Structure 1
């Protein structure tokens, strides 16, 4: 059943914010795994879930909103709509923006940043859209509170505001996640071109890992796939290391309820046996990074990491093999990797019998060089890469 939106005319002072009146939010998620994000929201007790051109709309009470932000592995942000209104000109945006009581979100010293997305509308310039809403917020403080306008901080703001204009309808929202949810907090060390955490979580989701079959990454890099596998196997909330969330500055934030949600989620953490998750990499710096990142998580010491080339691994039989091999960005675009991928294919054929391999190709052109029959293939576009996730059944 679709959630009905209560539209507000520009300049109207709302009695309550839209998210309070109508109990709906918008989740941002990579388009390639939006369907998986919808399933995750359903699993986390969201209701009235609908895909939209720019995310996923859903309904949730406060406890569910907190839990989604704290535990979601696939979503990147959750937005709470403050105002929804027709918007054909930036003057409409300015009027509606200045009418919102921004003092509800800003205490002295808090900074802010605005992101804008403009699609199929009379307004076409996202950058100018951002500037107009920034002016509206500044003028609200000058004209209504006598307080100094808050400063803009695009790198690490306290308040993140989102404006989306689609088909001449604008939604001004507050980001309830704060920093993007893929920033788990465990990545203390890194190597070049690390995989984004939500993409790694999506790969694990598509693999349908049963958390019983031993999992191995023979080119683990800084360990993102292994960290996400550990968190999934142990039921570790994705946000357990994060210091704060955007929903904590909402005017109806309930700190007691938040602590209860967090306590209940943390109580679900379970142990894993030694040997369930392991990996290796030829690069000693990558091995150090992976070990360091894993040690920041519960039971990270139970994940074995060794330094060796995949060709030197004796065998990987009856395993779930998940890996993100090097491609142009990670090894230099002047490198010819066709022979590398041929060797990888030979290794999988000769030493990995009885296993299933899930390989993420950041450059899909190398799929043919592996020399193996694909059992399943999925476009997985993320971080500017038009990649492919491919499954191989190894007999």
Structure 2
């Protein structure tokens, strides 16, 4: 137990509960929710597992030092005095990113530059040679977080954000992020125990994430690399062992996942992305217009989709959202239908009463995730939760 240390998993607004549950299910200890973050403890192997398996995490940070800071000079001195040789060599590249919420420190970019200077000057002073900066593809990413006067210095074990799953080569205009897609599906309560349908599938992200959830495939199995793979203490053998043990927990899926779009070129991208994720056999892609469609199965159906917003396409929003409601009502009995929209006004035109409405953000855009329960043999949506 002595090898456990504190870590922080970053997430999107509204996903803290989901991420907490994911971490507990994976075996994290001392799990505690923050805002857009969840704190937890585990060992090195668990850090590898968290990066590999968490669906709703954007980053896994490993705090290495925290101290109080009173001004920029103080910050510089305290970072300068840290033993950076434990994490970096002069031949390595690094990048610093900072977030500040403080009366004293106002500019995160300036703080990042100060920290970079402190690290570089320390090396130059002691070894007469310094590591270089590489903002795009560094060997080490340093994360600085200042809350009032409390400064936390962390190493970013993920590297590029974990929403870069590695399977999505082709996207369309304003695609939904993989982490947002996975979180929405988990929030909708789908667990692979019924058929799933995305009727406006775009580049296929929702259907692919649904297949990974259904089969319990590690979320980031298709990524080319993680930040920790370049760390001095990286244990390749341990990482392989963890990967193998996670892959051994995959399961069979006995239902169907359907995805459709009315654009042939869009559908081709979605099919290619599913192929990259090795999930083609689980997803049935079909070119069709949702508004002239029938339910693809007689069974209970779970629909999750991301309809276009007015910023993205030249459509009449009132008619479009009214058509969504009419189509669900007329052709999709015995269905739980969920969708996310950044056009909150437009929801009034659906003509059905949502049984759930959850505030989320799609990028910077405040959005709503809504659920409409359409039940058997009735033209009305269920009014209960």
Same fold by TM-score, threshold 0.5 exceeded?
Answer: yes
List runs of 5+ in structure 2 lacking aligned partners. 376-385
Q: Deviations over 1:267-301 (max 9, x none)?
A: 2223434x610110011121011100001123323
Partner in structure 2 of residue 91 of structure 1 = 73
Partner in structure 2 of residue 379 of structure 1 = 359
Q: Which residue, out of 125, 130, 144, partners 2:126?
A: 144
Q: Deviations over 1:158-189 (max 9, x none)?
A: 21111000020101111011111111001011
Partner in structure 1 of residue 223 of structure 2 = 242
SS at match of 2:197: strand
Q: Structure 1 residues 250 and 100 mapped into 2: Cα distance closer, same or farther (>3 Å)? A: farther
- Following superposition, the deviation at residue 47 of structure 1 comes to 1.0
Distance 1:250 1:321 in 2: 42
Q: Which residue, out of 2, 17, 23, partners 1:41?
A: 23
Q: Deviations over 1:350-393 (max 9, x none)?
A: 00001110111122111111111111110011311101010111
Distance 1:25 1:327 in 2: 37
Aligned 8 A contact 2:14 2:36 in 1: no
Q: Which residue, out of 126, 133, 141, partners 2:108?
A: 126
Distance 2:132 2:319 in 1: 53
Select between 384-393 and 264-273 the one with higher mean Cα deviation.
264-273
Distance 2:345 2:94 in 1: 42
Q: TM-score, normalised by structure 1?
A: 0.90
Distance 1:309 1:108 in 2: 57
Q: Structure 1 residues 309 and 109 mapped into 2: Cα distance closer, same or farther (>3 Å)? A: farther
Q: Structure 1 residues 54 and 210 mapped into 2: Cα distance closer, same or farther (>3 Å)? A: closer
- Following superposition, the deviation at residue 190 of structure 1 comes to 0.6
Q: Which residue, out of 274, 290, 302, partners 1:294?
A: 274
Q: How many correspondences in the alignment?
A: 372
- Following superposition, the deviation at residue 113 of structure 1 comes to 1.6
Aligned 8 A contact 2:164 2:178 in 1: yes
SS at match of 1:31: coil
Q: Which residue, out of 64, 74, 80, partners 1:82?
A: 64
Distance 1:283 1:114 in 2: 42
Partner in structure 1 of residue 381 of structure 2 = none
Partner in structure 1 of residue 310 of structure 2 = 328
List runs of 5+ in structure 1 lacking aligned partners. 1-19
Aligned 8 A contact 1:359 1:389 in 2: yes
Residues 1-395 of structure 1 correspond to what in structure 2 (within 5 A)? 23-53=5-35, 55-107=37-89, 109-147=91-129, 149-273=130-254, 276-316=256-296, 318-332=300-314, 335-395=315-375
- Following superposition, the deviation at residue 87 of structure 1 comes to 0.9
Distance 2:31 2:231 in 1: 22
- Following superposition, the deviation at residue 40 of structure 1 comes to 1.0
Distance 2:349 2:73 in 1: 55
Aligned 8 A contact 1:236 1:298 in 2: no
SS at match of 2:76: helix
Aligned 8 A contact 2:174 2:312 in 1: yes
Structure 1 segments, 4+ long, off by >4 Å, are: none
- Following superposition, the deviation at residue 146 of structure 1 comes to 2.2
Aligned 8 A contact 1:182 1:196 in 2: yes
Q: Deviations over 1:178-207 (max 9, x none)?
A: 111111001011100000011111111111
| CA-atom RMSD in angstroms | 1.8
